[in-house]
Amino acid sequence: MPLGPQNFYNRLEHHHPACKDWIVVNWNLGNMCNFTCSYCPSVLNDGSYGWNDFEVVRKFIDAVIDRYAPRKVYFEFTGGEVTLWRDFIRAAEYIKERGHDIGFISNGSRTIRWWEKNKDKFDHVCLSFHPEEGKADHYIEVVKIMSEQCRTHANVMMHYDPKIWPTCVKVAKQLIKIPNISLALQPLIIDFGETLYQYTPEQTELIDHQWSKFGKKIKHTKEWKIYRGSMDMWDDVNDLKQNSSAHRFINDKTNNWEGWLCWSGLEQIVVDFDGSVMIGWCRVGGALGNMKQPERIRWPVKPTMCTKSMCHCNFDIMSKKLLPKNRYIVEEDEEVDTSIQ
């Protein structure tokens, strides 16, 4: 069985030590969206999964906080377009009242007035520019507003269509003028599976070298909290390490950790539209339970052996991983000390 790119490293660790202090919950609140991008599967925008009642959401928030105490929890909401949920701000305020952090992924389409009114309620936001539906000037303005208040990440969905591609590049060039943000030029994956859309060599070159062409030009004058970031690849035999990012693993097609131990479930959990709770979007191990019945969830207590040939989700990639060999082997019936994870 292939074990991934173990020929030059055997351990994947968070580059930023602070990332180890956080439990991250990536939560699909519902699949209602005001965009219908051609590259987005209908399950992410057709409204077939309605929003949950606030009390149901509140009880699961409490269950997660209590389960992982005293560690801090960062709740990251996604969808659909989560800002459309009528109780979204109420949920954000409740999480802050409990002393934990909140972020979300959005297409940035709500009015400027909405963003100005609610900007101080969040610790992090990921704003994605979708060139088929989004308005570039509005999107840029929203990024500016949020970047002054909290950690802000900008995703530009890089459309392969030669008629749309220039708009994506133009937006990226405008974004690097905004200080204190992070930026990713995100290649599109067919049906969110394992295959990229067909890009030209010139397009691929720009995506592959986006850091030197765009990312490193952004000025940073503030330090924000960090929940997830780049990963360090460790070669413990030679005591060497090399840093990489989720999009780099995907672009280089080195996102294969089949047979490795993964700390998804110990460092993070995900919640799908139907309420299913899992260790990651890879769905390895199946559902642990449902957020509507938190008392019946089987919370993970040890790392999970990866059974996937490819890890194609940025969120799943950003978990500790270990190639089992010699002293790293974990037997099926052996409990793992997670106190240092």
Q: How far apart are CA 226 and CA 218, in angstroms?
A: 17
pLDDT along the chain (341 residues), means of 10: 53 93 95 94 90 96 96 95 97 98 98 97 97 98 97 96 98 97 92 83 94 92 90 89 86 88 96 96 95 96 93 90 66 40 32
Q: Which of these, 83, 156, 82, lies nearest to 113 by C-alpha position?
A: 83
Q: What is the pLDDT of residue 331?
A: 43
Q: What is the pLDDT of residue 328?
A: 45
* Residues with Cβ within 8 Å of residue 339, at least 6 apart in sequence: none
Q: How open is the CA angle 272-257-309, to the nearest 5 degrees? A: 70
Residue type at position 183: L
Q: Considering the chain, tell me which residue range(s) the CATH 3.20.20.70 domain(s) occupy.
A: 19-217
Check if the beta carbon of residue 32 is closer than 8 Å to that of residue 44.
no
Q: What is the pLDDT of residue 303?
A: 95
Q: How long is the chain?
A: 341
Q: What is the pLDDT of residue 19?
A: 92
Please provide residue 229's backbone torsions phi and psi, each rounded to the nearest 5 degrees. -155, -145
Which tokens go with 341?
């994870």
Q: How far apart are CA 303 and CA 262, in angstroms?
A: 5
Burial of residue 3, with CB atoms counted within 10 A of its CB: 0-12 exposed, 13-18 middle, 19 or more buried: middle
Q: State which fold the 19-217 domain adopts.
A: TIM Barrel (3.20.20)
What pTM was estimated for this model as a whole?
0.86
Rg (CA), the chain: 20
Q: What is the pLDDT of residue 326?
A: 44
Question: Between β-strands 11-14 and 181-187, what pairing exists: parallel, antiparallel or unpaired?
Answer: unpaired
Q: What is the pLDDT of residue 159?
A: 97
Q: What is the pLDDT of residue 191?
A: 80
Q: What is the pLDDT of residue 44?
A: 87
Alpha-helix runs per DSSP H in 50-105: 54-68, 88-97
Torsional sign, CA 55, 58, 62, 68: positive
